[in-house]
Structures are given as C-alpha cells and as structure tokens.
Structure 1
Amino acid sequence: MQAGVIKDERTRKYLPWLGALAIFMQALDATILNTGLPSIAKSLGESPLEMQSVIVSYTLTVALLIPLSGWLADRFGTKRIFILAVGLFSLGSVFCSISNTLDQLVLARIFQAIGGAMMVPVARLTLIYAYPKDQLLKVINFITIPGLIGPMLGPAVGGFLVEKLSWHWIFLINVPVGLIAVLVAKSIIPNFTNKVGRFDLLGWILFSGGLTMLTLVIEKWNSPTISTIQLIMLCLLAVLMGVAYVYYARRAKDPLIKLDLFKITTLRLGLIGNLVTRFGIGGMPLMIPLLLQVGYGYSAMYAGMMMIPQALSNLVSRNFVVPIVRRFGYRSTLITNTILTGLLISCFFFITPNTPYWVIIILMIGNGAFNAIQFTSMNTISLADLDQETSSEGNSLLSVTQQLAVSLGISLSAMVLMIFQNSAVAVSSDQIAVFRYTFLVMGLITVLSSFVFTKLDKDAGASMSGKREYGDKS
C-alpha cells in the first residue's frame, strides 16, 4: 500500500491506540528499570551510581538502528516491520529477565533495543503517512497520553515486583503487552510502503561509529580500564568519523541522512533543541530514583509511589499543550518553558536530608508538567514542515536525535554525579550533596539550551499549531 491518508474509518479510529500501545511498552520498560536499578546493582554486585550502562546501551543502540528502521518500513511495509519490532522487543525482555551478570544484562538490553529501534518510530511514521498535517498535532499528542500510563504504573509496579519477587520480573511484564500489540497490529495497521534505494551501509558505519565513540568517551572517562590516551584517541576518532560522514553525504546519491534536510528551519532547530535541551532534562529519569533510594534511603516500592505524581502531572498537562501552542506559538512556548524547566531542575539543589517529602513531590509534579509541554512542542515543531518526500527521513532523524540525546543526557548526568562523588562535596556531612550539585548543573544546562529556540520565526509551525488562523479569527 502506497503511503497516503487512510479513508477506512475503523483504521483511523484505532490506529492511534496502537501507536500509544507501542509508546506504553517503552515507557513502562524505562520507568520500571529506573526504579529497579539500585536493586539490580545490589544483586549483581555493582555500584548503583555506575549502572547507567544498562540504560545507555539501550538508548544508544536504538539511536544507531533507527535510520535502518525507516528504510525497512518503507521497503517492506510498516505493518510487517512493526510486528517484527514488537516481537524482538518482547524476546529481548525475556533475555533481560534471565540475565545473571551486568554484562549479560547489557547484551540483552542491546538485543531488546533492536526491536525498540523500530517499534515507536515505525508506529509514528505510520501516523504521519495516515493523517493529514492539520490533524497530526492532535494525533501525536493523543498517542503520548495513553502511553503515559506506563510511567504512572512503572515506578510503583517496578518497586512492588522488586520487593515482593525479584528484579527479573520487571522485564517479563513487557511480554503480555507485546502479544496484545502484535494481535492488534495484524488487523489494524496499514502496510504502507515507499520507493527506496539501497541502504547506505557506508554512511551508517560512519554515522553510527561517530556516535558510539562519542558516547564511549562520556561513559568511560572515569573507568580504570581505559587510559587518558585511549580516551583522547576515541574522541578524535568520533570527530573524524563525523567529519567523514559530512564529506561523504555531500557527494553520495542517496546518503543515510540527507544534509538537505537541515535546510528545513523548523526541523533543524527542533533537532538541535531536542539534543541540547535533553542534555539537562535527559538525566532526570536516572537521577530522581537514585536520589530517592540512594540519597534518602527509600525502598524501591516507596520511591516508585513517589514517582506517580510526576507521571500524573505529565499526563494531565498534555491536554493543555495544543491550546498553549495555539495561543502563544511554538517560539514563545519553547523559550519560556525551557527556562522554567531548567529553573525547576535547579530547585532540587536546595533540598536537604531534612526536606519534607511533600516538597520533593511538588518539584516532581512541576517537572512532569513542564516536560509534557517541552517534549510535545519540540517533537511537533520538528515535523511541522515535512512533506511526503521528507517525512520518513525527517521522522527517523528526529527519533535518532531523541534517543541520542537521552543517551548523552544520562551519560552526562552520571559523569557529573561521579565528579562530585569524587570531590570534596562527597565528604560533607550532607549525603545528598552529590545529587544537589548535579541537579544544579543539569538545570543550568537546560536554561542555556533555551537560546536555540530564539532562532525560530514568530510564526514557525503555524501549519500545525494553527496560531496564524487563531490570530486571524481574534
């Protein structure tokens, strides 16, 4: 079936729910894992402050394989690839559940990520092909709302499973959800295809190699197994591979990522904003559970229960994203919301061992609300000016950027955390001081990232937000 707006009413009605189910699976997996990391670390004999490799291995693998997912979906059809993706993700979850060492768990997460790299991007690509642009903002916003049930259930369910059973069960919960997604996909999702050329293997090697080297530099900077010279060499190799890809892409007929895409202003600024903003925000899903369990000494279940207000706030706030963007436009919304998000993250600096738990909950509620506006706005402005020819590649590039930013954000926050852990801050009487200073740095990074959105035009994304029409009517 060639890509185009679908007319079947049943498919139009239920297709967004399938996209929401895919997001639910990933969100549930991520939030359950974040809450369970301290317990996993204890079981495997590792430090909970150095468990970021379990998350980074997944997000980095997803980032590297997403370009392939777009090509596979266009070549073999969105339906076939989506079902394959869910199957691999579910099987990978089983492998994670039977892991007995950290290395085994990291390898299982990489396998799981092979399915995750295709699951959500292909679902979103199907929606881009299936709905007209003036409906896309509402559809994309809708699929994230049911998907937020995962973050609400994840922390509490993860804490319950870790305490009452074992951490292995936090992965097995993906399996029944995956089976439901496969059954629904067989009868609902259209098998859209597009004409594509050969996959750009050389471009993929250069692009993915550069990203991998960069992530390794951030990940291994403090590792005793790697020397300073080796780190410098990895950094130089990352830069060389990046430069080589740019040189190659300018001359290749069908490169992995066409550099002409960056001429689309809304896409370019949306991608840059996604990247630099998540340098600060991206570490929060790792930092908050560690703060609650390692800093405050809460149990996994109690820490999971305290995460629910943040997820609920995120869910409720998404209902206000469309009217906010229509009223103020993308530019003003993103500048203001990014600054407020950074200031709120910085407020975690002022918590102490004597801070009441309800103060932390208020901060987490605010964080959930601002994140809802931030992520939905950044994602939709990136897609605003894409057409039929650029939708697949633009969508893949957005997904790559998101996953890369999450990976780098987690690695960066873990690096900052370890810097303070090894400094004079760690020997103070305040056990939470290491986390406080890390939150301060992350907040400042987020505030500074708002500068990117000042480059947006006043009417940027008007075709999606409807602000121009809104203004004409008023």
Structure 2
Amino acid sequence: MTLLDARTARLLPWIVAIAFFMQTLDGTILNTALPSMAADLSEDPLRMQSVIIAYMLTVALLIPASGWLADRFGTRHIFFSAILLFSFGSLLCAVSQSLNMLVIARIIQGFGGALMMPVGRLVVLRAYPRTELVRIMSFITLPGLLGPLIGPTLGGWLVEYASWHWIFLLNLPVGAVGCWAAYRFMPELRGSERTRFDLAGFLLFGASMLLITMALEGLGELHLPHMRVVLLLLGGLACLAAYWLRAGRTANALFPPRLFNTRSFAVGIFGNIFARLGTGALPFLTPLLLQLGMGYSPAQAGMSMIPLALAAMAMKPLAKPLIDRLGYRRILTFNTVLLGLLITSMALVDGQTSHLQLAIQLSLIGAFNSLQFTAMNTVTLIDVPDSEASSGNGLLSVVVQLSISMGIATGAALLSGFSLDNQAAADGVLSAFQSTYLCIGLLTILAAGIFLQLSPDDGRSARRVKVEVDE
C-alpha cells in the first residue's frame, strides 16, 4: 500500500469519480438517444447496438494493457491521457454524419475509456487499505451515479429539442475538469518491477473476445448465416483455450491462472460474466421499450429512468453494512435471484402499465442492481494478494465491459429474433420486448448458482487483518 498525504487521500476518490461520471453520463445519454439517432442516420433503431458495442468491445480489448501501461509510465500520465483521449473521441462523435463515422469515433473514445476506470481502480487498490475498499468504491460510484440520473432526462431533452450531436459535447467541459484534476492531484504510482508486456497473450485474448462478440452480433444486427456464427464462436473459444494454455507457462502473462487460486476472485469473475449478461442488456432495452413499444417521447423515456438511478444511489451507502452483516455469499445468492425476478417482471409492462407501477419496478431494479455490482466487484478483489492486484483488477475490468457488451448483443439478438416471430401480430414489437425481458431475467437467476460456491468466510479476510493489526 502507498502512503498518501491527507489532501491527496481526500481528493483521489473524487478524481476517479469524475472519470466514472463521464463514462456513465455518456452511456446513459446514448441509450435514450438511439431511436432519434437511427432516424437521423436512416437506420433501423433495433440495429443500433453497434454504437454501444463498438465502444465497450474496444474498452474490453485494451484494458489488459492498462495495468502494464500504468506500471510502466505512471498512473498520473496514463490517467490524464485517458481522459484527454476520451474527450477527443467525444468531439469526433459529435461531428459524425453517418453510422460508420460514429462507430469509428466510438472506437477512439473507447481507447480512453479502456484506461480511465481500470487505472483509477488500480490507484485505489494500491493507495488504501483493503478494510476501506468497500467504503471507497461505494464513494467513487456514488458521484458516478449522477450520470444515470442526469443522462436519460438530459439526453431525451437534447434529442427532442436540439440534436443528438450535442449529447457528446457534454463530455468536453467534464473532461477539461478531469484533465486538470488528474494532472494536479493524481499520484504518480508505478509498479515495483519492470516486466515485459505479454504481446502474444494480448493478441490471443483480444482475438478470442472479438470473435465471440462478433458471433453474438451475427445473431442480431449483422444477421450472419448460422454457419458463420458457429465458426466465429469456435474460433473465439479456440483462441481463448490457446491463451489459457500459454498463460500457464508464461511468467509475465496478462492474467496468470494462479489468480483463480483465490476462490472469491474466481467466483466473482464467473459471477460477473453471467450475472451481467442479463443486467447489461437493461440500459439498452428499456429506453427502446419505452419509445418503440409504449410510444413515449425521448424526454418522457429519459424522465422514466430517473427512479432507477435514484434508487441505485440510495442503495450505495447501505451496501457495506449489509455485506458486513450478511456476508458476500448470502447477499450475492439471494440478490441475484431477486434481481432476475425483477427483470423478468418487466415482461408484464405494456401500454396499460401506469407510470407509478413502472417507476416502482425500475426503482427496485436500480436498488438491487446497485447492491449487486458493489458486492460482485468487491468480493472479486478483496482477497487478491497485493502482488497480483494489477492483473486481478485488469481482468475484472475486462470481464465487466465484455459481459455488458455480450449482454447487449444477446439482448439485441433475442429482440431481433422475437421481432421476426411476432412481426405479423398487431403488438409484435411489444411482445418481442416482453419475451426478451423474460429470457434475460432467467439468465440472471441462473447466475445465483455460481455465487453459492462462495463460503461464508470468503471476502472477510480484510476484517480479520484489521483486527490483528488493531490488537
């Protein structure tokens, strides 16, 4: 652990929160604006997920290099450069005139996003004791949750009364503040040892993630023949197997297999993958449901998402007391089942659903989703040895982004398939959304079986260490 002066220790969580705020604001505004963007670009609104997936997949592919870059060049330089690049990508998004231009700009934006949060989380891991991890992580995500609170309403208003291009310009003043704060206050931390970058492992791992995601996209937006989808999926799994076998005999592997010797880390990683397959599709599907299935305007759809964000913020301060009292195993097992049931309940939403009922459903989903993310992220990292913090943090960040992008691709593929099945029906679009919510809710419930593999004591080593030090 690195010792910080009192001022830096107080300001550092805020600096990382600025980066998180930029990313969440950008994502939530974009989700609400997709139908209007599709109309302006002459595209099908049900096939606009490439704008989101291009960013998230870029982030997932480049995150493995974030830890090595931070160790090699220092956290301050990398964090500052990440915010600057993210802001430049936002400017390019704002001036895009076609879907292809927008996707390319989102990829550039993803280069910055790939470094912002992983490096910020790595600094927190190295600068604060593990006993403070839940508190600090909750504090960082709380200001960041202003993005989902402000984003949908502001995005809907901008799209309805101005132009969707302006939603990306909002990142520029926030980016300017973030660059100044990072340059002034971010500590310059480097790894204790110089290691070679595992380029071959990076290429194998990246190829596997790209091919698997393209396979899922092939079932949705790209409408590829099933044979090509199968080939892409098998190719991705082959690259992943090759990476795993190589990593076991490589000293400087990006993600050494020994990380999975820590049970809480292994359960947290696999739990993140499958739980986020369901929850990752929610921010993409819900604004589309409200606008395409229920006839809401962009501004109305954005305002309807406010209860979800408010409930998520309200749950954050309660996360640590609940985890301390009940433990990770109980929290994650029961919360995953409950969250899956709440997502499934969205299949009951139709044109007759009242605003009050919708607000209650979204509030409950937001609250328990917030608790889920906090518990999953902290249990994954809390028992990882300091010597492997960089690799563990990097793999968690990859899994988060990749599982969300695969969740969106899965949700889009399901929605596309159900839309074709119900295209002759009068309420075919709404029925397709309802069937999609039912499927992704069931996927989320199945992830509870992974968290059952935790023991009651997993994740509590930090508490035991604190007691020993105090005594």
Q: Is 1:5 aligned to 2:2, yes or no?
A: yes
Judge which range, 86-95 or 238-247, deviates more: 238-247
**2:62 alignment partner AA:** L
Q: Read off the aligned partner of 2:59 and give its amino acid letter.
A: V
Q: Find the aligned partners of 1:463 and 1:292 in 2 and give their Cα distance.
A: 45
CA distance in 2, matches of 1:442, 1:252: 37
Q: Mapping of 1:64-83 within 5 angstroms?
A: 64-83=61-80
Structure 1: distance between partners of 2:233 and 2:301: 37
2:396 corresponds to: 398
Q: Which residue of 1 aligns with 2:367?
A: 369
Deviation at 1:21, TM superposition (A): 0.7
The aligned amino acid for 2:103 is: V
Q: 1:253 to 1:173 in 2, by over 3 A?
A: same
- Pairwise CA distance, 1:186: 1.5
Classify the secondary structure of the residue corresponding to 2:295: coil
Contact 1:353 1:431 in 2 (8 A): no
d(CA) in 1 for partners of 2:194, 2:311: 42
The whole-number CA distance in structure 2 between the counterparts of 1:213 and 1:392 is: 26
SS of the aligned residue for 2:384 comes to coil
Match of 1:472 in 2: none
Letter paired with 2:131: D
2:49 maps to 1:56: no
Q: More deviation in 245-254 or 86-95?
A: 245-254
Q: How does 1:234-249 map to 2 (within 5 A)?
A: 234-249=232-247
User: How far apart in 1 are the matches of 2:307 and 2:227?
Assistant: 46
- For 1:141, the aligned partner's letter is S
CA pair 292-464 structure 1, distance change in 2 beyond 3 A? farther
RMSD of aligned C-alpha atoms?
1.6
The residue number in structure 1 matching 2:340 is 342
Give CA-to-partner distance per residue, 1:282-319, whole Å, 9 cap, x none.
10000110011111111111111111111011001111
Could you tell me which residue of structure 2 aligns to residue 451 of structure 1? Answer: 449
Q: Secondary structure at the match of 1:422?
A: helix
Aligned to 1:227: 225
Deviation at 1:463, TM superposition (A): 3.1
Q: Which residue does 1:125 correspond to in 2?
A: 122
Deviation at 1:231, TM superposition (A): 2.3
Q: Which amino acid aligns with 2:79?
A: F
1:101 Cα shift? 0.9
Match of 1:159? Answer: 156
Corresponding residue number in structure 1 for 2:147: 150
Give per-residue Cα distances to partners, 1:412-462, cap 9 Å, x unaligned: 011111110011376244641111111111111111110000000111111
State the distance in 2 between where 1:424 and 1:296 align. Answer: 16
Equivalent positions of 1:44-443 (< 5 A) are 44-194=41-191, 195-222=193-220, 226-424=224-422, 427-429=425-427, 431-443=429-441
**What do the CA deviations read for 1:379-431 (whole angstroms, capped 9, x no partner)?**
00001112221111100010000001101000001111111001137624464
1:19-58 matches, within 5 Å, as: 19-58=16-55
Contact persistence 2:221–2:413 (CA under 8 A) = no
Matches of 2:235 and 2:47, distance apart in 1: 25
SS, match of residue 195 in structure 2: coil
Distance 2:180 2:29 in 1: 24
- Structure 1 residue 183 displacement after superposition: 0.6
- Partner amino acid, structure 1, of 2:63: I
In 2, the alpha carbon distance for the partners of 1:467 and 1:295 equals 53
Asked if structure 2 preserves the Cα contact closer than 8 Å seen for 1:278 and 1:406, the reply is yes
Q: Which amino acid aligns with 1:462?
A: R
2 CA distance for matches of 1:400 and 1:196?
A: 22
CA distance in 1, matches of 2:221, 2:185: 48
SS in structure 1 of the partner of residue 321 of structure 2: helix
After TM superposition, the score normalised by the length of structure 1 is: 0.96
Whole-Å separation in 1 of the counterparts to 2:221 and 2:156: 30
Which amino acid is 1:79 matched to? R
CA distance in 2, matches of 1:429, 1:108: 36
CA contact (8 A) 1:36 1:159 kept: yes
Instruction: Give 1:356 shift.
Output: 1.1
SS of the aligned residue for 2:452 comes to helix
Structure 2 residue 16 is matched with structure 1 residue 16? no
CA distance 1:450–1:425, shift in 2 (3 Å): farther
Aligned amino acid, residue 52 of structure 2: I
The 8 Å contact of residues 347 and 434 in structure 2, kept in 1 or not, is answered as: yes
Residues 73-111 of structure 1: CA deviation (Å, up to 9, x unaligned): 011100000000000000000011111111111111000
Equivalent AA in structure 2 for residue 438 of structure 1? T
Stretches of 4+ moved more than 6 A in 1? 465-469
Query: Alpha-carbon deviation of 1:226?
Result: 3.6
Count matched residues: 466
C-alpha separation between the residues in 1 aligned to 2:58 and 2:4? Answer: 36
CA change 1:291–1:206 in 2 (3 A) is same
| Distance in 1, Cα, partners of 2:355 & 2:465 | 40
Cα drift, residue 171 of structure 1: 0.5
CA contact (8 A) 2:289 2:430 kept: yes
Q: What's the offset of the Cα at 1:118? A: 0.0
**CA displacement at 1:225 relative to structure 2:** 6.7
Which amino acid in structure 2 is aligned with residue 230 of structure 1? R
Tell me, yes or no, if the aligned pair for 1:97 and 1:170 is still in contact at 8 Å.
yes
Q: Is the 8 A contact 2:344 2:442 kept in 1?
A: yes
SS in 2 for 1:185: helix
Report SS of the residue matched to 2:116. helix
| Alpha-carbon distance between aligned partners in 1 of 2:222 and 2:205, rounded to the nearest angstrom | 28
Normalising by the residue count of structure 2, what TM-score does the alignment of the two structures yield?
Answer: 0.96
Please list the CA deviations of residues 26-71 of structure 1 after superposition, one character each: whole Å capped at 9, or x if unmatched. 0000000001011111111111111111111111110110010111
Q: Give the partner amino acid of 2:184.
A: S
Q: Secondary structure at the match of 1:432?
A: helix
Contact 2:423–2:429, Cα closer than 8 Å, also in 1: no
Measured against aligned partners, the alpha-carbon deviations of 1:163-214 in whole angstroms (never above 9, x if no partner) come to: 1210000001001100001111122110000123111111011101011000
CA shift at 1:262, angstroms?
Answer: 1.1
